[in-house]
Structure 1
Amino acid sequence: MFKEEERIKINKDAWNIVAPQFFEGSFTNLEYGMYAPSEEELNFLGDLKGKVILEVGCGSGHTLEYMARAGAGELFGVDLSTAQLESAKKVNSQFNIPITLIESPMEELKGVPRNYFDIAISIYALGWTVNLSKTLSNIFDALKPGGVFVFSWEHPVHSLLEYRDGKLVFKRSYVEEGYEKHESWRTVSIVMHYRKLSTYINGLIKAGFIIDQVVEETRIPENDTGEPNQWYSAEKARTLPPDLIIKSHKPDFNIG
């Protein structure tokens, strides 16, 4: 068993090593996952012009770049990886708007102001948290009343199944939550957590959020001919959603 701080340290070291693998191009649209509907279709964030936005787990900074190009007024990006933040700084050096990059675990969000943000977003990062309750409470506190929080993550069922001998088979139980250390994730050791869909939903409710929409739909290109035994594949996506997207908001206590 690893303490929370030990798990954070393992993952920080791992992401510092694999960061170059995620440094890719620019986003013309905001993608929530491999086979997920995009922001262009969902319009969860609305008009970004002038908005103050926090990205939790900003990684290489390409989502920040997308939001800067869309006219955001001020951006904050938080990540535990020094290497990822160095990439994010390079990607966003072209913009004149205020962009603050903070090295901090999402369980702490050190240096992030409270009641400040119109929008918080986390794309394929929230599930890395070692303490979901702390992280969601931090995000809730950072938002203004009425502020929107949107996150995507790998669907909890997706990681349970693998394609073997022409069929999908369960490799572990859905109801048993916890974590395990993978010794060779992208050639490094890293700690992954397993949570049920209800854990994310109930965590949002406990933190004070109001849930607006849960998305499990898939969008599979007709010309997708990838190998069915790949981790993300069209064959697998036709059976179960690879991605989970949830939109929620902080109540506006000034109403009523």
Structure 2
Amino acid sequence: MGDGAGMDKNTVHKTNRFYWNTKGNDHLGAIVLPLYGAFVSEEKCQLFGDVSGKKMLEIGCGNGQSLQYQGERKAAELWGMDISEKQIEKATQHLTSCDLSARLICSPMEEECGIPEDYFDFVYSIYAIGWTTDLEGTFCRIASYLKKDGVFIFSWSHPIHKCVALENNSLVFNKSYFDESWYSVPLDLSGEGLLTLSDRKLSTFVNALAKAGFVIEQMVEQPDDELMLSRDEDTSDFAKKAKMLPLTFVIKARKR
């Protein structure tokens, strides 16, 4: 299925906004910079380099911790966008407490929301891009925000991770890698509300980037062994799985 096929975009936005307004903060620990996701760190990858004096926009800014990371590295301007009013509120409070100023906008990433075009040196997103109901449209919009030769960096759950489960110390395929259909999962055991998403193939991301005029400069999918050891998680099922297949991927692309 293509993006949004058989799925109402507004319904997706509504259910996912509810999630981030209520439960979202419970899951932000490993997906704020310098962490890109499970066992992948900017401190090891060095995808951004020196950001001092640069204009930065974060798509899916959450509670503002990744913007804080950039602000402490002397970025000149901090902008953030998020679908959740509650997350924007949290980010505003957090950045104010850190003596950092940022322009924060509450909007779905697919929609026009007053962000300036041809303006930013970096647009980045930590575990948020995959929520889009229109991947190609979102990538085109992000390209419009960037200056020529500007950089787009994003991370998301590696699609193979969603297809494989660890059972009795063996990896077992439990889902087709090629299945991109939308599905909903309960937020919690009470069944209050749903979270709606699609597991896209890596080629879907790569082709959408190319169509939007990006050139991929680097891709990271290797977990950091030191991070696994330092967190005392080396014996967990999660870490065992990470030793055999990627859980997170990060792409650095440049606007042509």
Normalising by the residue count of structure 1, what TM-score does the alignment of the two structures yield? 0.89
Distance change in 2, residues 1:69/1:135 (3 Å)? same
- Structure 2 equivalent of residue 60 of structure 1: 63
Contact 2:19 2:187 in 1 (8 A): no
Match of 2:37 among 20, 28, 33: 33
- Structure 1 equivalent of residue 24 of structure 2: 19
How many residue pairs get matched? 244
Given the alignment of the two structures, is residue 227 of structure 1 paired with residue 227 of structure 2, yes or no? no
Contact 1:124 1:152 in 2 (8 A): yes
- Structure 1 equivalent of residue 107 of structure 2: 104
Contact 2:68 2:100 in 1 (8 A): no
Q: Which amino acid aligns with 1:227?
A: S
- Structure 1 equivalent of residue 209 of structure 2: 204
Distance change in 2, residues 1:238/1:23 (3 Å)? closer
Query: Identical aligned pairs, as a percentage?
Result: 38
Rounded Cα–Cα distance in structure 1 between residues aligned with 2:79 and 2:112: 11
Q: Which runs of 5+ in 1 are unaligned?
A: 252-256
- Structure 2 equivalent of residue 151 of structure 1: 154
Rounded Cα–Cα distance in structure 2 between residues aligned with 1:186 and 1:88: 28
Provide the secondary structure at the position in 2 that maps to 1:32.
strand
Q: Which runs of 5+ in 2 are unaligned?
A: 1-5
Matches within 5 A, 1:40-55: 40-55=43-58
Q: Which amino acid aligns with 2:194?
A: S
Deviations 1:103-149 (A, max 9, x none): 00011151211111000000111111111011101100000111000
Rounded Cα–Cα distance in structure 1 between residues aligned with 2:9 and 2:122: 27
Contact 1:18 1:186 in 2 (8 A): no
Contact 1:68 1:95 in 2 (8 A): no
Matches within 5 A, 1:1-256: 1-22=6-27, 30-36=34-40, 38-94=41-97, 98-184=101-187, 188-220=193-225, 221-222=228-229, 223-228=232-237, 233-251=238-256
Contact 1:78 1:109 in 2 (8 A): no
Provide the secondary structure at the position in 2 that maps to 1:92.
helix
Q: Which amino acid aligns with 2:23?
A: V
Normalising by the residue count of structure 2, what TM-score does the alignment of the two structures yield? 0.89
Distance change in 2, residues 1:191/1:250 (3 Å)? same
What is the RMSD of the two structures over their aligned residues, measured on CA atoms? Answer: 1.9
Distance change in 2, residues 1:111/1:95 (3 Å)? farther
Rounded Cα–Cα distance in structure 2 between residues aligned with 1:51 and 1:76: 11
Provide the secondary structure at the position in 1 that maps to 2:114.
coil
Provide the secondary structure at the position in 2 that maps to 1:177.
coil
**Structure 1 outlier segments of 4+, above 3 Å:** 22-25, 94-98, 184-188
